[in-house]
Chain A
Amino acid sequence: MIKKEVVVIGGGPSGLSAAVEAAKKGAEVLVVDENLRAGGQLFKQIHKFFGSSAHQAGVRGIDIASELLEEARECGVEVWLNSAVVGLFKEKKVTIKKTLADNSEKLEIIQAKKIVIAAGASENAVRFKGWTLPGVIGAGAAQTMINVNRVLPGKRILMIGSGNVGLIVSYQLLQAGAEVVGVVEAAPQIGGYGVHAAKIRRAGIPIYTSHTILEAKGVKGVEEAVICEVNDKWQPIKGTEKVFKVDTITIAAGLKPLIELAMMHDCKCSFIPQLGGWVPLHDENMESTNPGIYLVGDVTGVEEANTALEEGRLAGTAIAEALKYISLEDAGKLKKEIWHRLNELRMGPFGEARMLAKNNILTACKI
Protein backbone atom coordinates (compact mmCIF):
# COMPACT_ATOMS: atom_id res chain seq x y z
CA MET A 1 0.00 0.00 0.00
CA ILE A 2 1.22 3.44 -0.93
CA LYS A 3 1.41 6.04 1.82
CA LYS A 4 0.84 9.74 1.10
CA GLU A 5 0.48 12.48 3.66
CA VAL A 6 -2.22 14.39 1.79
CA VAL A 7 -4.53 13.16 -0.94
CA VAL A 8 -6.55 15.81 -2.77
CA ILE A 9 -9.56 14.51 -4.64
CA GLY A 10 -10.14 16.83 -7.58
CA GLY A 11 -7.63 19.01 -9.41
CA GLY A 12 -9.69 22.14 -9.95
CA PRO A 13 -8.83 25.56 -8.45
CA SER A 14 -9.78 24.60 -4.90
CA GLY A 15 -7.98 21.26 -4.93
CA LEU A 16 -4.85 22.62 -6.59
CA SER A 17 -4.56 25.62 -4.30
CA ALA A 18 -5.00 23.34 -1.25
CA ALA A 19 -2.25 21.11 -2.65
CA VAL A 20 0.08 24.04 -3.34
CA GLU A 21 -0.40 25.58 0.10
CA ALA A 22 0.27 22.29 1.90
CA ALA A 23 3.21 21.36 -0.35
CA LYS A 24 4.82 24.80 0.01
CA LYS A 25 4.99 24.18 3.77
CA GLY A 26 6.58 20.77 3.30
CA ALA A 27 3.74 18.24 3.08
CA GLU A 28 3.76 15.37 0.62
CA VAL A 29 0.73 15.86 -1.62
CA LEU A 30 -1.00 13.79 -4.28
CA VAL A 31 -3.79 15.30 -6.42
CA VAL A 32 -6.11 12.90 -8.22
CA ASP A 33 -8.36 14.02 -11.06
CA GLU A 34 -10.55 11.93 -13.35
CA ASN A 35 -10.08 14.28 -16.31
CA LEU A 36 -7.32 14.27 -18.89
CA ARG A 37 -6.24 17.68 -17.67
CA ALA A 38 -6.17 19.27 -14.24
CA GLY A 39 -7.57 22.77 -13.70
CA GLY A 40 -11.23 21.89 -13.22
CA GLN A 41 -13.58 24.46 -14.70
CA LEU A 42 -10.80 27.05 -15.07
CA PHE A 43 -9.79 25.84 -18.52
CA LYS A 44 -13.01 26.93 -20.08
CA GLN A 45 -13.17 30.30 -18.32
CA ILE A 46 -11.71 32.43 -21.09
CA HIS A 47 -13.06 35.66 -19.63
CA LYS A 48 -11.32 38.02 -17.19
CA PHE A 49 -12.15 37.40 -13.55
CA PHE A 50 -13.54 39.96 -11.09
CA GLY A 51 -12.32 40.29 -7.52
CA SER A 52 -9.30 41.94 -5.98
CA SER A 53 -6.40 43.05 -8.19
CA ALA A 54 -4.12 41.90 -5.42
CA HIS A 55 -5.41 38.43 -6.18
CA GLN A 56 -5.53 38.01 -9.92
CA ALA A 57 -8.63 40.05 -10.79
CA GLY A 58 -8.50 40.98 -14.45
CA VAL A 59 -6.69 37.75 -15.32
CA ARG A 60 -8.42 35.24 -17.58
CA GLY A 61 -9.43 31.95 -15.97
CA ILE A 62 -7.31 29.95 -18.41
CA ASP A 63 -4.19 31.87 -17.36
CA ILE A 64 -4.95 31.42 -13.68
CA ALA A 65 -5.16 27.69 -14.41
CA SER A 66 -1.77 27.55 -16.13
CA GLU A 67 -0.11 29.54 -13.35
CA LEU A 68 -1.63 27.31 -10.68
CA LEU A 69 -0.52 24.13 -12.43
CA GLU A 70 3.00 25.50 -12.83
CA GLU A 71 3.07 26.41 -9.15
CA ALA A 72 1.89 22.91 -8.23
CA ARG A 73 4.65 21.39 -10.34
CA GLU A 74 7.27 23.62 -8.76
CA CYS A 75 6.13 22.69 -5.25
CA GLY A 76 6.51 19.02 -6.00
CA VAL A 77 2.81 18.17 -5.97
CA GLU A 78 2.22 14.78 -7.58
CA VAL A 79 -0.74 14.70 -9.97
CA TRP A 80 -2.52 11.58 -11.25
CA LEU A 81 -4.75 12.44 -14.20
CA ASN A 82 -7.37 10.32 -15.92
CA SER A 83 -7.68 8.60 -12.55
CA ALA A 84 -10.88 8.35 -10.55
CA VAL A 85 -11.28 8.00 -6.81
CA VAL A 86 -13.57 5.00 -6.56
CA GLY A 87 -13.51 4.40 -2.83
CA LEU A 88 -12.96 6.31 0.37
CA PHE A 89 -12.69 4.27 3.56
CA LYS A 90 -12.96 5.20 7.21
CA GLU A 91 -9.29 4.81 7.99
CA LYS A 92 -8.49 7.45 5.36
CA LYS A 93 -7.77 4.85 2.73
CA VAL A 94 -8.39 6.09 -0.78
CA THR A 95 -8.96 3.66 -3.63
CA ILE A 96 -7.98 5.04 -7.00
CA LYS A 97 -8.49 3.63 -10.46
CA LYS A 98 -5.22 4.91 -11.87
CA THR A 99 -4.57 5.15 -15.60
CA LEU A 100 -0.95 4.38 -16.39
CA ALA A 101 1.29 5.73 -19.15
CA ASP A 102 0.35 2.87 -21.49
CA ASN A 103 -3.37 3.55 -20.87
CA SER A 104 -3.87 0.41 -18.81
CA GLU A 105 -5.68 0.75 -15.49
CA LYS A 106 -4.50 -0.22 -12.05
CA LEU A 107 -6.31 -0.12 -8.73
CA GLU A 108 -4.19 1.65 -6.13
CA ILE A 109 -4.96 1.90 -2.43
CA ILE A 110 -3.42 4.88 -0.69
CA GLN A 111 -3.15 5.39 3.04
CA ALA A 112 -3.47 9.11 3.64
CA LYS A 113 -3.13 11.21 6.78
CA LYS A 114 -5.31 14.02 5.49
CA ILE A 115 -7.85 14.05 2.67
CA VAL A 116 -9.23 17.01 0.77
CA ILE A 117 -12.49 16.53 -1.13
CA ALA A 118 -12.55 19.08 -3.97
CA ALA A 119 -15.06 17.31 -6.18
CA GLY A 120 -16.86 20.39 -7.43
CA ALA A 121 -20.44 20.56 -8.64
CA SER A 122 -22.52 19.47 -11.63
CA GLU A 123 -25.17 21.17 -13.73
CA ASN A 124 -28.88 20.98 -12.93
CA ALA A 125 -31.34 19.69 -15.48
CA VAL A 126 -34.54 21.47 -16.36
CA ARG A 127 -37.24 19.14 -17.54
CA PHE A 128 -39.72 20.21 -20.19
CA LYS A 129 -41.50 18.53 -23.06
CA GLY A 130 -38.87 17.45 -25.56
CA TRP A 131 -35.92 17.97 -23.21
CA THR A 132 -34.35 14.67 -24.25
CA LEU A 133 -33.97 15.73 -27.89
CA PRO A 134 -30.39 16.00 -29.14
CA GLY A 135 -29.47 19.67 -28.93
CA VAL A 136 -30.59 20.22 -25.33
CA ILE A 137 -27.39 20.53 -23.30
CA GLY A 138 -26.05 22.19 -20.20
CA ALA A 139 -24.57 25.66 -20.61
CA GLY A 140 -21.39 24.40 -18.97
CA ALA A 141 -21.20 21.58 -21.49
CA ALA A 142 -21.60 24.08 -24.32
CA GLN A 143 -18.86 26.19 -22.75
CA THR A 144 -16.48 23.21 -22.67
CA MET A 145 -17.27 22.46 -26.31
CA ILE A 146 -16.53 25.95 -27.54
CA ASN A 147 -13.66 26.98 -25.28
CA VAL A 148 -11.83 23.69 -24.84
CA ASN A 149 -12.82 21.49 -27.77
CA ARG A 150 -13.29 24.41 -30.22
CA VAL A 151 -16.54 23.00 -31.62
CA LEU A 152 -19.89 24.79 -31.83
CA PRO A 153 -22.73 22.80 -30.24
CA GLY A 154 -25.08 24.32 -32.80
CA LYS A 155 -25.65 27.45 -34.86
CA ARG A 156 -28.81 29.01 -33.38
CA ILE A 157 -29.05 28.83 -29.62
CA LEU A 158 -31.61 29.62 -26.94
CA MET A 159 -30.15 30.09 -23.45
CA ILE A 160 -32.26 29.13 -20.44
CA GLY A 161 -31.17 31.00 -17.31
CA SER A 162 -29.80 34.50 -16.80
CA GLY A 163 -27.41 33.92 -13.92
CA ASN A 164 -23.74 34.63 -14.52
CA VAL A 165 -23.22 31.27 -16.26
CA GLY A 166 -26.11 31.90 -18.66
CA LEU A 167 -24.96 35.44 -19.43
CA ILE A 168 -21.25 34.65 -19.79
CA VAL A 169 -21.77 31.51 -21.88
CA SER A 170 -24.18 33.42 -24.15
CA TYR A 171 -21.41 35.97 -24.72
CA GLN A 172 -18.85 33.26 -25.39
CA LEU A 173 -21.20 31.48 -27.80
CA LEU A 174 -21.39 34.75 -29.72
CA GLN A 175 -17.62 35.04 -29.71
CA ALA A 176 -17.42 31.47 -31.04
CA GLY A 177 -19.64 32.39 -33.98
CA ALA A 178 -23.04 31.07 -32.93
CA GLU A 179 -26.23 33.08 -33.01
CA VAL A 180 -27.94 33.40 -29.62
CA VAL A 181 -31.62 34.18 -30.16
CA GLY A 182 -32.36 35.05 -26.55
CA VAL A 183 -31.93 34.38 -22.85
CA VAL A 184 -34.95 33.06 -20.94
CA GLU A 185 -35.32 33.83 -17.24
CA ALA A 186 -38.22 32.62 -15.11
CA ALA A 187 -37.71 35.22 -12.38
CA PRO A 188 -38.91 38.79 -12.91
CA GLN A 189 -35.34 40.09 -12.91
CA ILE A 190 -32.00 39.10 -14.41
CA GLY A 191 -29.98 36.82 -12.16
CA GLY A 192 -26.37 37.70 -13.01
CA TYR A 193 -24.28 40.88 -12.91
CA GLY A 194 -25.58 43.95 -14.72
CA VAL A 195 -22.30 44.31 -16.63
CA HIS A 196 -22.59 40.76 -18.02
CA ALA A 197 -26.17 41.43 -19.09
CA ALA A 198 -25.10 44.75 -20.63
CA LYS A 199 -22.49 42.99 -22.82
CA ILE A 200 -25.05 40.72 -24.42
CA ARG A 201 -27.73 43.39 -24.70
CA ARG A 202 -25.18 45.53 -26.59
CA ALA A 203 -24.81 42.55 -28.95
CA GLY A 204 -28.54 42.63 -29.54
CA ILE A 205 -29.54 39.55 -27.55
CA PRO A 206 -32.95 39.97 -25.88
CA ILE A 207 -33.45 38.79 -22.28
CA TYR A 208 -36.97 37.48 -21.59
CA THR A 209 -37.58 37.85 -17.87
CA SER A 210 -40.69 36.18 -16.37
CA HIS A 211 -40.53 33.57 -19.10
CA THR A 212 -39.97 29.85 -19.06
CA ILE A 213 -39.26 27.13 -21.60
CA LEU A 214 -42.36 25.10 -22.47
CA GLU A 215 -41.25 22.73 -25.13
CA ALA A 216 -38.46 21.68 -27.49
CA LYS A 217 -39.76 20.46 -30.84
CA GLY A 218 -38.01 18.48 -33.51
CA VAL A 219 -37.62 15.09 -35.12
CA LYS A 220 -33.97 14.07 -35.03
CA GLY A 221 -32.98 16.97 -32.83
CA VAL A 222 -34.07 20.38 -31.63
CA GLU A 223 -35.66 22.44 -34.42
CA GLU A 224 -37.84 24.81 -32.42
CA ALA A 225 -38.17 26.07 -28.86
CA VAL A 226 -41.40 27.35 -27.35
CA ILE A 227 -41.26 29.75 -24.41
CA CYS A 228 -44.04 31.57 -22.60
CA GLU A 229 -44.59 34.18 -19.93
CA VAL A 230 -45.11 33.15 -16.31
CA ASN A 231 -47.23 34.90 -13.69
CA ASP A 232 -46.17 35.79 -10.16
CA LYS A 233 -46.88 32.21 -9.11
CA TRP A 234 -44.42 30.96 -11.72
CA GLN A 235 -47.29 29.45 -13.75
CA PRO A 236 -47.37 29.65 -17.56
CA ILE A 237 -49.74 32.25 -18.96
CA LYS A 238 -51.78 30.85 -21.88
CA GLY A 239 -51.53 32.78 -25.09
CA THR A 240 -48.09 34.23 -24.44
CA GLU A 241 -46.17 31.55 -26.33
CA LYS A 242 -43.19 32.60 -28.44
CA VAL A 243 -41.56 30.22 -30.89
CA PHE A 244 -37.88 30.33 -31.86
CA LYS A 245 -36.23 28.38 -34.63
CA VAL A 246 -33.13 27.01 -32.93
CA ASP A 247 -30.98 23.90 -33.11
CA THR A 248 -29.66 24.10 -29.55
CA ILE A 249 -31.11 24.86 -26.13
CA THR A 250 -28.49 25.47 -23.44
CA ILE A 251 -29.54 25.21 -19.82
CA ALA A 252 -27.95 27.39 -17.15
CA ALA A 253 -30.17 26.61 -14.19
CA GLY A 254 -27.62 26.33 -11.45
CA LEU A 255 -25.22 23.73 -10.16
CA LYS A 256 -25.36 21.24 -7.33
CA PRO A 257 -22.42 20.09 -5.25
CA LEU A 258 -21.09 16.57 -5.91
CA ILE A 259 -21.24 15.43 -2.29
CA GLU A 260 -21.31 11.65 -2.75
CA LEU A 261 -17.80 11.02 -1.39
CA ALA A 262 -18.43 13.27 1.61
CA MET A 263 -21.77 11.58 2.31
CA MET A 264 -20.33 8.09 1.97
CA HIS A 265 -17.75 9.06 4.52
CA ASP A 266 -20.44 10.15 7.00
CA CYS A 267 -19.68 13.87 6.75
CA LYS A 268 -22.69 15.74 8.16
CA CYS A 269 -24.59 17.59 5.45
CA SER A 270 -27.25 20.27 5.39
CA PHE A 271 -29.74 21.40 2.74
CA ILE A 272 -28.96 25.01 1.77
CA PRO A 273 -30.68 26.15 -1.45
CA GLN A 274 -28.54 29.32 -1.69
CA LEU A 275 -25.48 27.12 -2.09
CA GLY A 276 -26.99 24.63 -4.53
CA GLY A 277 -28.70 22.05 -2.32
CA TRP A 278 -27.14 19.47 -0.02
CA VAL A 279 -23.74 20.65 1.20
CA PRO A 280 -21.32 19.04 3.66
CA LEU A 281 -20.65 21.10 6.79
CA HIS A 282 -17.18 22.45 7.57
CA ASP A 283 -15.47 24.58 10.22
CA GLU A 284 -13.17 27.61 9.87
CA ASN A 285 -10.39 25.29 8.73
CA MET A 286 -12.58 23.77 6.01
CA GLU A 287 -12.50 20.52 8.03
CA SER A 288 -15.65 18.40 7.85
CA THR A 289 -17.42 16.79 10.80
CA ASN A 290 -15.06 13.89 10.09
CA PRO A 291 -11.62 14.77 11.45
CA GLY A 292 -8.91 14.70 8.81
CA ILE A 293 -11.35 15.11 5.91
CA TYR A 294 -11.36 18.62 4.46
CA LEU A 295 -13.78 20.07 1.93
CA VAL A 296 -13.09 22.93 -0.45
CA GLY A 297 -14.60 24.72 -3.43
CA ASP A 298 -17.97 24.19 -5.08
CA VAL A 299 -18.53 20.90 -3.24
CA THR A 300 -19.05 22.98 -0.09
CA GLY A 301 -21.43 25.32 -1.86
CA VAL A 302 -21.57 26.72 -5.38
CA GLU A 303 -19.74 30.04 -5.52
CA GLU A 304 -16.92 31.17 -7.81
CA ALA A 305 -13.37 30.36 -8.74
CA ASN A 306 -12.03 33.12 -6.49
CA THR A 307 -13.67 31.69 -3.37
CA ALA A 308 -12.61 28.18 -4.42
CA LEU A 309 -8.98 29.30 -4.59
CA GLU A 310 -9.19 30.89 -1.14
CA GLU A 311 -10.96 27.93 0.48
CA GLY A 312 -8.27 25.68 -0.97
CA ARG A 313 -5.56 27.90 0.53
CA LEU A 314 -7.36 27.78 3.86
CA ALA A 315 -7.52 23.98 3.94
CA GLY A 316 -3.93 23.65 2.73
CA THR A 317 -2.75 25.95 5.51
CA ALA A 318 -4.85 24.15 8.13
CA ILE A 319 -3.46 20.80 6.97
CA ALA A 320 0.11 22.09 7.14
CA GLU A 321 -0.66 23.23 10.68
CA ALA A 322 -2.25 19.88 11.65
CA LEU A 323 0.76 18.01 10.27
CA LYS A 324 3.01 20.36 12.27
CA TYR A 325 4.80 21.84 9.24
CA ILE A 326 3.97 25.34 10.45
CA SER A 327 3.35 26.73 13.90
CA LEU A 328 -0.07 27.56 15.33
CA GLU A 329 0.91 31.22 15.30
CA ASP A 330 2.00 31.32 11.65
CA ALA A 331 -1.03 29.33 10.57
CA GLY A 332 -3.28 31.66 12.52
CA LYS A 333 -1.90 34.72 10.72
CA LEU A 334 -2.26 33.16 7.26
CA LYS A 335 -5.77 31.89 7.92
CA LYS A 336 -6.85 35.30 9.18
CA GLU A 337 -5.69 36.95 5.94
CA ILE A 338 -7.49 34.32 3.85
CA TRP A 339 -10.73 34.76 5.82
CA HIS A 340 -10.48 38.51 5.29
CA ARG A 341 -10.26 37.97 1.53
CA LEU A 342 -13.07 35.40 1.55
CA ASN A 343 -15.35 37.81 3.39
CA GLU A 344 -14.50 40.56 0.92
CA LEU A 345 -15.43 38.28 -2.01
CA ARG A 346 -18.78 37.51 -0.37
CA MET A 347 -19.76 41.14 0.15
CA GLY A 348 -22.37 43.06 -1.81
CA PRO A 349 -25.89 42.14 -2.92
CA PHE A 350 -24.72 39.16 -4.97
CA GLY A 351 -22.60 37.65 -2.22
CA GLU A 352 -24.78 38.36 0.83
CA ALA A 353 -26.89 35.22 0.60
CA ARG A 354 -23.76 33.09 0.29
CA MET A 355 -22.08 34.87 3.18
CA LEU A 356 -25.08 34.16 5.39
CA ALA A 357 -25.27 30.56 4.23
CA LYS A 358 -21.57 29.97 4.85
CA ASN A 359 -21.84 31.49 8.33
CA ASN A 360 -24.74 29.13 9.04
CA ILE A 361 -22.55 26.21 8.00
CA LEU A 362 -19.82 27.27 10.43
CA THR A 363 -22.37 27.59 13.23
CA ALA A 364 -24.04 24.26 12.42
CA CYS A 365 -20.67 22.55 12.42
CA LYS A 366 -20.08 23.60 16.01
CA ILE A 367 -23.26 21.89 17.18
Chain B
Amino acid sequence: MALRKTGYLTKEELMNLNLYPSEKRFKKGPVAIIECIEEIPCNPCEVACKFKAIKIGKPITNIPILDESLCIGCGLCIAKCPGLAIFTIDKTYSDEEGLISFPYEYLPLPITDSIVEAVNREGKVVSSGKVIKVLNIKSFDRTPVVTIAIPKEKLDEVRGIKRLKSKDSK
Protein backbone atom coordinates (compact mmCIF):
# COMPACT_ATOMS: atom_id res chain seq x y z
CA MET B 1 0.00 0.00 0.00
CA ALA B 2 1.44 3.35 -1.04
CA LEU B 3 0.12 4.89 2.18
CA ARG B 4 2.73 2.93 4.16
CA LYS B 5 5.52 4.60 2.21
CA THR B 6 4.26 8.06 1.40
CA GLY B 7 1.97 8.69 4.35
CA TYR B 8 -0.95 9.86 2.24
CA LEU B 9 -3.74 8.30 0.19
CA THR B 10 -4.74 9.05 -3.37
CA LYS B 11 -8.28 9.41 -4.70
CA GLU B 12 -7.61 6.39 -6.92
CA GLU B 13 -6.79 4.19 -3.93
CA LEU B 14 -9.99 5.28 -2.20
CA MET B 15 -12.03 4.62 -5.35
CA ASN B 16 -10.45 1.20 -5.83
CA LEU B 17 -11.55 0.31 -2.31
CA ASN B 18 -15.09 1.63 -3.00
CA LEU B 19 -14.61 4.26 -0.34
CA TYR B 20 -15.37 7.33 -2.47
CA PRO B 21 -18.91 8.66 -2.97
CA SER B 22 -20.26 8.33 -6.50
CA GLU B 23 -20.51 11.37 -8.79
CA LYS B 24 -24.28 10.73 -8.77
CA ARG B 25 -24.29 11.21 -4.98
CA PHE B 26 -22.09 14.32 -5.19
CA LYS B 27 -24.70 15.93 -7.47
CA LYS B 28 -27.32 15.56 -4.70
CA GLY B 29 -25.51 17.70 -2.11
CA PRO B 30 -22.92 17.56 0.67
CA VAL B 31 -21.57 14.12 1.60
CA ALA B 32 -18.91 12.75 3.94
CA ILE B 33 -15.69 11.06 2.88
CA ILE B 34 -13.97 8.81 5.40
CA GLU B 35 -10.32 8.47 4.42
CA CYS B 36 -9.61 5.60 6.77
CA ILE B 37 -8.40 2.40 5.15
CA GLU B 38 -6.40 0.56 7.79
CA GLU B 39 -7.75 -2.00 10.24
CA ILE B 40 -7.39 -0.25 13.57
CA PRO B 41 -9.64 -0.92 16.58
CA CYS B 42 -11.67 2.30 16.42
CA ASN B 43 -15.35 3.18 16.02
CA PRO B 44 -16.33 6.68 17.29
CA CYS B 45 -17.47 7.62 13.77
CA GLU B 46 -20.10 4.87 13.73
CA VAL B 47 -21.53 6.11 17.01
CA ALA B 48 -21.32 9.77 15.97
CA CYS B 49 -23.62 9.55 12.96
CA LYS B 50 -27.24 10.35 13.84
CA PHE B 51 -28.40 8.91 10.54
CA LYS B 52 -26.59 5.59 10.99
CA ALA B 53 -24.79 6.17 7.72
CA ILE B 54 -21.43 4.87 8.96
CA LYS B 55 -21.04 1.14 9.48
CA ILE B 56 -18.21 -0.64 11.28
CA GLY B 57 -19.89 -3.37 13.31
CA LYS B 58 -17.77 -6.11 14.85
CA PRO B 59 -14.89 -6.50 15.09
CA ILE B 60 -14.23 -2.79 15.51
CA THR B 61 -11.14 -3.12 13.33
CA ASN B 62 -13.44 -3.16 10.30
CA ILE B 63 -12.92 -0.26 7.91
CA PRO B 64 -15.79 2.25 8.20
CA ILE B 65 -18.17 2.11 5.24
CA LEU B 66 -20.32 5.13 4.40
CA ASP B 67 -23.84 4.53 3.11
CA GLU B 68 -24.05 7.50 0.74
CA SER B 69 -27.83 7.22 0.53
CA LEU B 70 -28.17 7.77 4.30
CA CYS B 71 -25.46 10.43 4.65
CA ILE B 72 -26.66 14.03 4.43
CA GLY B 73 -23.19 15.57 4.76
CA CYS B 74 -23.95 17.31 8.06
CA GLY B 75 -20.34 16.95 9.17
CA LEU B 76 -20.97 15.97 12.80
CA CYS B 77 -18.62 13.02 12.32
CA ILE B 78 -15.68 15.24 11.31
CA ALA B 79 -14.77 16.31 14.84
CA LYS B 80 -15.42 12.86 16.32
CA CYS B 81 -12.77 11.00 14.34
CA PRO B 82 -9.60 10.65 16.46
CA GLY B 83 -7.60 10.21 13.26
CA LEU B 84 -8.92 13.49 11.77
CA ALA B 85 -9.67 11.46 8.66
CA ILE B 86 -13.23 12.56 7.83
CA PHE B 87 -14.20 15.40 5.47
CA THR B 88 -17.42 16.63 3.90
CA ILE B 89 -17.59 17.86 0.33
CA ASP B 90 -20.35 19.84 -1.32
CA LYS B 91 -20.03 19.87 -5.10
CA THR B 92 -23.37 21.70 -5.48
CA TYR B 93 -22.37 24.97 -3.79
CA SER B 94 -22.24 26.98 -7.00
CA ASP B 95 -21.43 26.54 -10.69
CA GLU B 96 -17.69 27.13 -10.24
CA GLU B 97 -17.06 26.41 -6.60
CA GLY B 98 -17.57 23.70 -4.04
CA LEU B 99 -17.15 23.45 -0.28
CA ILE B 100 -14.87 21.25 1.76
CA SER B 101 -15.07 20.95 5.54
CA PHE B 102 -12.13 19.57 7.46
CA PRO B 103 -10.88 19.27 11.06
CA TYR B 104 -8.36 21.98 11.98
CA GLU B 105 -6.65 21.75 15.37
CA TYR B 106 -4.22 24.62 14.99
CA LEU B 107 -4.05 28.21 16.19
CA PRO B 108 -4.72 30.80 15.01
CA LEU B 109 -8.06 29.68 13.61
CA PRO B 110 -8.90 31.17 10.22
CA ILE B 111 -11.38 34.02 10.10
CA THR B 112 -14.64 33.81 8.16
CA ASP B 113 -14.46 35.48 4.73
CA SER B 114 -10.65 35.52 4.72
CA ILE B 115 -8.66 34.09 1.81
CA VAL B 116 -6.50 31.07 2.59
CA GLU B 117 -4.12 28.73 0.79
CA ALA B 118 -5.71 25.30 0.27
CA VAL B 119 -3.43 22.28 0.44
CA ASN B 120 -3.68 18.73 -0.87
CA ARG B 121 -2.95 15.52 1.04
CA GLU B 122 0.74 16.09 0.53
CA GLY B 123 0.59 19.56 2.06
CA LYS B 124 1.16 21.31 -1.30
CA VAL B 125 -0.77 24.49 -1.99
CA VAL B 126 -3.00 23.76 -5.00
CA SER B 127 -5.54 26.56 -4.82
CA SER B 128 -6.66 29.57 -2.89
CA GLY B 129 -9.91 29.36 -0.97
CA LYS B 130 -12.36 31.51 0.98
CA VAL B 131 -13.28 30.65 4.54
CA ILE B 132 -17.05 30.19 4.72
CA LYS B 133 -17.42 28.89 8.24
CA VAL B 134 -15.39 28.04 11.33
CA LEU B 135 -17.25 25.90 13.83
CA ASN B 136 -15.71 25.33 17.26
CA ILE B 137 -18.56 24.18 19.47
CA LYS B 138 -18.30 22.41 22.81
CA SER B 139 -19.42 19.01 21.54
CA PHE B 140 -16.51 19.03 19.08
CA ASP B 141 -14.19 18.83 22.11
CA ARG B 142 -11.60 21.27 20.79
CA THR B 143 -11.54 20.01 17.19
CA PRO B 144 -12.67 23.04 15.19
CA VAL B 145 -14.17 22.31 11.77
CA VAL B 146 -13.32 24.75 8.98
CA THR B 147 -15.30 25.06 5.73
CA ILE B 148 -13.72 26.68 2.67
CA ALA B 149 -14.97 27.40 -0.85
CA ILE B 150 -12.58 26.38 -3.62
CA PRO B 151 -12.76 25.73 -7.39
CA LYS B 152 -14.84 22.59 -7.98
CA GLU B 153 -12.09 20.72 -9.80
CA LYS B 154 -9.90 20.88 -6.68
CA LEU B 155 -12.41 19.19 -4.36
CA ASP B 156 -10.98 15.70 -4.74
CA GLU B 157 -7.51 16.97 -3.88
CA VAL B 158 -7.79 19.64 -1.20
CA ARG B 159 -7.89 18.38 2.36
CA GLY B 160 -6.78 21.37 4.44
CA ILE B 161 -5.18 24.79 4.52
CA LYS B 162 -1.66 26.02 5.03
CA ARG B 163 -0.97 26.95 8.64
CA LEU B 164 -1.68 30.60 9.33
CA LYS B 165 0.99 32.75 10.91
CA SER B 166 0.40 33.47 14.55
CA LYS B 167 -0.34 37.12 15.23
CA ASP B 168 2.09 37.23 18.11
CA SER B 169 4.81 35.03 16.64
CA LYS B 170 8.27 36.57 16.84
Interface residues, chain A, with chain B CB atoms under 8 Å away: 47-53, 57-60, 174-175, 177, 188-190, 193-205, 207, 209, 344-351
Contact = CB atoms under 8 A, between A and B. Distances in A.
Contacts of A348: 38-41, 61
Interface in B71-111: 80, 82-85, 105-107
Interface stretch (B16-24, B25-33, B119-127): B119-127
Interface in B2-19: 3-9
A350 B40 contact: yes
Given A52-B41, A209-B5, A204 B162 contact: yes
A51 B169 CA distance: 36
B129 interface: no
B65 interface: no
Interface of B: 1, 3-9, 35-44, 46-48, 59-61, 80, 82-85, 105-107, 119, 121-124, 141-143, 159-160, 162-163, 166, 169
A179 to B, nearest CB: 10
B77 to A, nearest CB: 11
A202 B38 contact: no
B9 A198 contact: yes
A53 B36 contact: no
Nearest to B1: A194
A344 B7 contact: no
Contacts of B141: 48, 58-60
B40 A193 contact: yes
Contacts of B3: 190, 194, 197-198
Contact of B7 (A47, A51, A198): A198
A50 B9 contact: no
A194 B163 contact: no
Given A175-B105, A351-B61, 5 more contacts: A198-B83, A201-B7, A202-B160, A204-B119, A348-B61
A272 B116 CA distance: 49
Contacts of A51: 41-42, 60
Contacts of A52: 41, 43, 60
B41 A58 contact: no
6 contacts: A57-B42, A175-B106, A194-B37, A195-B84, A198-B3, A204-B119
A361 B142 CA distance: 40
A337 to B, nearest CB: 14
A173 to B, nearest CB: 12
A237 to B, nearest CB: 17
A85 to B, nearest CB: 33
B163 A203 contact: yes
A8 B123 CA distance: 46
Contact of A57 (B38, B44, B105, B169): B44
Given A52-B60, A202-B8, A349 B39 contact: yes
A194 B60 contact: no
Nearest to B9: A198
Contacts of B43: 52-53, 57
A344 to B, nearest CB: 6
Nearest to B122: A201
A286 to B, nearest CB: 20
Given A50-B40, A177-B169, A348-B61, A202 B119 contact: yes
Nearest to A349: B39
Given A202-B121, A203-B123, A53 B44 contact: yes
A348 B25 CA distance: 31
A202 B4 CA distance: 15
Given A203-B163, A204-B123, A344-B41, A195 B83 contact: yes
Contacts of B8: 197-198, 201-202
Contacts of A344: 41, 59-61
A197 B37 CA distance: 13
B38 to A, nearest CB: 5
Contacts of B143: 48
Nearest to A203: B123
A200 B83 CA distance: 11
A297 B96 CA distance: 54
A340 B44 CA distance: 19
Nearest to A200: B7
Given A50-B40, A57-B43, A195 B85 contact: yes
A50 B82 contact: yes
A58 B166 contact: no
A261 B162 CA distance: 48
B42 A50 contact: yes
A194 B81 CA distance: 14
A143 to B, nearest CB: 16
Contacts of A198: 3, 7-9, 35, 83, 85, 121
Contact of A53 (B47, B61, B124, B159): B47
A349 B41 CA distance: 10
A50 B31 CA distance: 24
